Amino acid sequence: MKISLFKKFIQLQQTLLIRFGIVMLIYSFMRIAFFVANYNLFQETTLAGFFVMLLGGLKFDLSALLFINALYIISQTLPFRFRYKLVYQKITTIFFIATNAFFIAINSADIIYYRFILKRTTLSVIENFENETNLSSLFFRFIFIDYWYVTLLFIGLVYLMIWLFNKTTVSNPGNQKPWVYYPTQLAAMLLLLYFSVIGIRGGFTGTTRPITLNNAGRYVERPKEMAIVLNTPFSIFKTLNKQTFSRVSFFNEHELKTIYSPIHTPASSKPFKNKNVVVFILESFGKEYFGAYNKELDNGNYKGYTPFLDSLINHSLSFKYSYANGWKSIDGIPSVISSLPSLKGSFVLSNYSTNNTSSLAFELKKKDYHTAFFHGAPNGSMGFLAYATVNGFDEYYGKTEYNNDDDYDGIWGIWDEEFFQFMGNTLSTFKEPFLSTIFSVSSHHPYIVPQKHIDRFPKGNLKMHQVIGYTDFALKKFFEKAAKTDWYKNTLFVFTADHQSKSQFKEYNTSLGNHAVPIILFDPTGELHGISSKVAQQIDIVPTVLSYLNYDQPYFAFGNNLLSDSTNHFAIAYNGTYYTMAMDSYFLQFDGVKPLGFYNFKKDILLTKNLANKNLPEMDSVIKVTKAFIQQYNNRMIDNKISLPDE
């Protein structure tokens, strides 16, 4: 009995899917081999945990293999009859096998190479070999002498792929009439290409960015386990066209440590304070919106749009000169949580995002803190769930956990007022001490507030002003309720923003002013107070909080303790083509070799008088610290040394 044309058409698509499934299966085999070969480095990983990673890894394998086989998929879905010719199929088969064999070889190599660099190979790792003169001899020794068993594994996997491939055949749909054949084949091709793009991106939803290395953190309990979830081709593809760091040596190691070091060794003899810590990261809350910091603006008539936070500042420690270390939300998260600035691109999107990191959560878990991250957006949005998971947070509360779409703003997430209340109620169920971090959502484009508050907040001169007022109001409601709880007076509250936003005043439109964000530490006991003139930055939050709690263990943080007077206080950022550094009263623009600008920003707030050609000794001091920071940052990123060894 003849097979119907429809069944033949389905059979053709099944052949393509089966062949794709073969290479997916091969990659799962390699993930198991990777784990077994490096088990001594993953001894804390349970079998159940590995199974989760194995399943999570399918998403990254799918993305990489769709990209690798994009041309083959197109070749097998072109709506023309020549694709059934024997010669055409032989040519595309050779292309399929050769292409996949090449990337299987790359993925297999990391089974061994991982133990030397403790991360999946990325483009930056490959670039480290550019100046090697003995690559051929090293390669020969690697595959034939030292690690011959990996070579055998590679040969076996390629043989398995070819054997299984040859078990499949492409069926010709027969003599379909052109008006049936071409439209249906074109529709099938477009449909397959659509789903391929979705697979490469990593999801359907509007909140899904193209998946990155950092998204592997969603499936692991420890940063190093991201290497199990990932595969090497994906890691290389995702670091193409990403800026990488060059190793620098401005100073020898002894000089470097005396100028600047990210290794903190507290010597506190005071007892540790088992205080709860709640960190608010407020979306786009530029410092310009605060009346308390800007009394001189608008001829002394400026009131700002944050009446509640302004009142809180009167009972808090805050900083007149405080800055973000990046430009975007995904820059702010690692800066605040891990004391890790994003220089030359966002850390979570960089070649180095799978490096082992430190964090406030990791450190406080050593003191038996319960840790939780709150973000009212759909779970997975912005990659926050993955970053929180891999940086020590026990629990994540998002739109899914809130579980009431009646309070969904329809765009970004749950309205701040309701979600802050949800967080407060949830905190009351936690065992103390706890660390909680919340990232707000409502102070964002398209600048709307709930209908019930439509005329409640000043519209101001920017659309942003109304939603700033709304989130400030949501904070007020949170604190009115929190103040009645048992845990309130035993809590340190920290406020900052992810980045600065739209500005109406020229003072906040300079290359320094456009990084200005609040940093506020509030203890209901009144122990912290005043507006400090120290230069502060987001990455200072971790060491400052740990110092306030009398933390007594060594830890890694690129920031400095703002409660100490015995260190340089500065704020560093990267403006796309040059570094910026604010320190003492001066602001430096530095291209990595020479100064481009040098200003006394406290006297010259609009940065109109460039002092770079004045040969001031103060400029030499700022350049020295800037170079030391760059050397520590670049070299430690390259060497995967941005945490202490046991973290």
For 304-348, write each residue's pLDDT tens digit. Answer: 999 999 999 999 999 999 999 988 888 899 999 999 998 877 888
Question: pLDDT at residue 138 above 60?
Answer: no
Q: Which band of pLDDT confidence, cut at 50, 70 and 90, is reported for residue 236?
A: confident
Q: Which band of pLDDT confidence, cut at 50, 70 and 90, is reported for residue 205?
A: low
Which is higher by pLDDT, 410 or 345?
A: 410
Question: pLDDT at residue 145 above 80?
Answer: no
Helix pair angle (47-68, 178-201), 10° resolution: 130
Tokens of 587: 């602001």
Q: Where are the domain boundaries for CATH 3.40.720.10 in the chain?
A: 256-639
175 vs 157: CA distance, rounded Å? 38
Residues 240-254: what's their mean pLDDT?
85
DSSP H or E run through 88: helix 86-117
512 vs 507: CA distance, rounded Å? 9
pLDDT at site 79: 78
Residues 70-88: what's their mean pLDDT?
82
pLDDT at site 204: 64
Residues 491-503: what's their mean pLDDT?
93
pLDDT at site 84: 75
Residues 234-254: what's their mean pLDDT?
85
Question: pLDDT at residue 5 above 90?
Answer: no
Q: What is 447-476 written as a DSSP string?
A: ----GGGTTTS---SSHHHHHHHHHHHHHH
pLDDT in tens, 195-204: 778 888 877 6
Amino acid letter, residue 266: P
pLDDT at site 8: 46
Report yes or no: 221 and 229 within 8 Å, Cβ to Cβ: no
Q: Which band of pLDDT confidence, cut at 50, 70 and 90, is reported for residue 131?
A: very low
Which is higher by pLDDT, 82 or 508?
A: 508
Residues 21-27: what's their mean pLDDT?
94
Q: Which band of pLDDT confidence, cut at 50, 70 and 90, is reported for residue 9?
A: very low
Mean pLDDT, the chain, rounded, equals 88
636 vs 236: CA distance, rounded Å? 20
381 vs 374: CA distance, rounded Å? 12
561 vs 556: CA distance, rounded Å? 12
pLDDT at site 7: 52
pLDDT at site 137: 57
Lowest-confidence segment of 284-293, 503-512, 524-533 by average pLDDT: 503-512
Q: Which band of pLDDT confidence, cut at 50, 70 and 90, is reported for residue 132?
A: very low
Lowest-confidence segment of 129-138, 189-198, 339-348, 515-524 by average pLDDT: 129-138
Question: pLDDT at residue 1 above 60?
Answer: no
* Percentage of the residues of the chain whose pLDDT score is greater than 70: 91
Question: pLDDT at residue 128 above 60?
Answer: no
* Percentage of the residues of the chain whose pLDDT score is greater than 90: 62
Residues 235-246: what's their mean pLDDT?
79
Which long-range contacts link 250-256 to residues 24+ away (Cβ below 8 Å)?
Answer: 250/627, 250/628, 250/630, 250/631, 251/627, 251/628, 251/631, 256/628, 256/631, 256/632
446 preceded by a cis bond (ω within 30 of 0): yes
Highest average pLDDT, of 119-128, 130-139, 382-391, comes from: 382-391
Which is higher by pLDDT, 329 or 263?
A: 263
Tell me the whole-structure pTM to 2 decimals. Answer: 0.78
Residues 60-69: what's their mean pLDDT?
92
DSSP H or E run through 190: helix 178-201
pLDDT at site 172: 66
Lowest-confidence segment of 9-13, 389-393, 496-500 by average pLDDT: 9-13
Question: pLDDT at residue 260 above 50?
Answer: yes
pLDDT at site 611: 95
Residues 380-392: what's their mean pLDDT?
87
pLDDT at site 112: 86
Report, at the CATH architecture level, how domain 256-639 is classified.
Answer: 3-Layer(aba) Sandwich (3.40)
* HSE of 619, CA atoms in CB hemisphere, 13 A: 17
pLDDT at site 569: 96
Q: Which band of pLDDT confidence, cut at 50, 70 and 90, is reported for residue 3?
A: very low
Question: pLDDT at residue 135 above 60?
Answer: no
Q: Which band of pLDDT confidence, cut at 50, 70 and 90, is reported for residue 497?
A: very high
Amino acid letter, residue 141: R
Question: pLDDT at residue 11 above 60?
Answer: no
Residues 138-145: what's their mean pLDDT?
66
176 vs 182: CA distance, rounded Å? 9
